[in-house]
Amino acid sequence: MNLEFFPPLNAALNGLSLLFLTGGFYFIRFRRDQQSHRKCMIAAFTISILFMISYLTYHTLKEGVHTRFGGSGFLLYLYYGILLSHIVLAMVNLPLILITMRLAIKRRFKSHQKWAKWTFPIWYYVSVTGVLVYFFLYQWFPGERI
């Protein structure tokens, strides 16, 4: 089975999530438009779920095949720093997203806002670095597949 479409799909889903996160932030911060904010954040969450399904499917089906990073020197350290922070913060962010969304659903907006001040920048960073990891690994510095 050819799995080469998964990495660009995953990057596109991360990028799309990033756009909806940006919209959600804009609508609540600058327009005070809760309805548009809610729609953007639900879209970002839904796309993030689709990303997770796609990501887990890809890593389940690829059967031990890995793509090595082709860069060296400073770029190697930069890539692994981005990748490591991306992975750690993605794991931390899942429960933060769920808590923050639950508070919004329960209409506990003061608590929601306090949690969102931590959740949003981490979620945003994870989306940006997800796209960057794709470009580093598959476009800018592709290495051999092992």
CATH at 112: 1.20.120.80
Mean model confidence pLDDT for the chain: 95
List, in sequence order, every beta strand (DSSP E) within the chain.
Answer: 67-69, 142-145
| pLDDT per position as a tens digit, 56-113 | 999 899 877 788 899 999 999 999 999 999 999 999 999 999 999 999 999 999 999 9
What is the count of structural domains for the chain? 1
Average pLDDT over residues 25-35: 97
CB atoms within 10 A of CB 39: 15
Residue 1 lies in a domain: no
Instruction: Count CA within 13 A, CB hemisphere, residue 124.
Output: 13
d(CA 104, CA 62): 38
CB of 123 within 8 A of CB of 21? yes
- Of the candidates 109, 117, 100, 1, the one whose C-alpha atom is nearest the C-alpha of residue 48 is 100
Domain range holding 12? 6-145
Residue 54 lies in a domain: yes
Query: Hey, what amino acid is at 73?
Result: G
- Of the candidates 87, 118, 88, the one whose C-alpha atom is nearest the C-alpha of residue 103 is 118
